[in-house]
Amino acid sequence: MVERRVTDGVRIAQLLSSELDGREDGALDRLAVTNADRSVEAAPGGERAYDVECGGEPFASAFVHEDHVRLDLDAGAETVAERVQGEDLRASVDDGTGKLLVESGAAVKRAVDALGGAVEELGENSRKD
């Protein structure tokens, strides 16, 4: 069997969108892909592909680059950064604003798991308030 690594930004964005919309386990049932641009093309600086909402509130925006997807996180950035692990997945937080880079199709499930952890923590924090 030939192993092919998916590193096309548009394809990674499609896989990520499908995973976010398709998984309804745990906290992930609160996430929804919105405002999708189905004709988006990769660009060096990133082109907005879609937004992600959590319970109807802004959570992240996905930008397609030639070889990866960048999620700009509106919420849960610290938690996502703490939970990111493994190859082809990087997270950073600067002044409370987070970025998650998904660099291959193989990293999509781990990215979604990190996002789910952030949603879970956000839910716990809102119940405490």
Give Cα separations from 97 to 42, 59, 71, 75 (angstroms): 23, 11, 11, 8
The pLDDT of residue 2 is 45
Give the CATH number for residue 46: 3.90.1150
The pLDDT of residue 114 is 94
Q: Domains in the chain: how many in total?
A: 1
pLDDT truncated to tens, each residue of the chain (129 aa)?
445 667 899 999 999 999 998 887 888 899 999 999 999 999 999 999 999 999 999 999 999 999 999 999 998 899 999 999 889 999 999 887 899 999 999 999 999 999 999 998 887 665 555
Asked if residue 34 belongs to a domain, the reply is yes
Q: Report H helices in the chain.
A: 9-22, 77-83, 108-128
Asked if residue 83 belongs to a domain, the reply is yes
Asked if residue 30 belongs to a domain, the reply is yes
Give Cα separations from 38 to 14, 34, 47, 50, 64 (angstroms): 9, 11, 12, 9, 12
Largest CA distance in the chain: 52
Cβ(38)–Cβ(71) below 8 Å:
no
What tokens were used for 24? 């309804």
Secondary structure class of 11 (helix, strand, coil): helix
Asked if residue 4 belongs to a domain, the reply is no
Asked if residue 55 belongs to a domain, the reply is yes
**H or E, element range at 73:** strand 69-73
The pLDDT of residue 127 is 57
- Domain containing 79: what range? 9-128
Per the listing, tokens 């959570």 go with 59
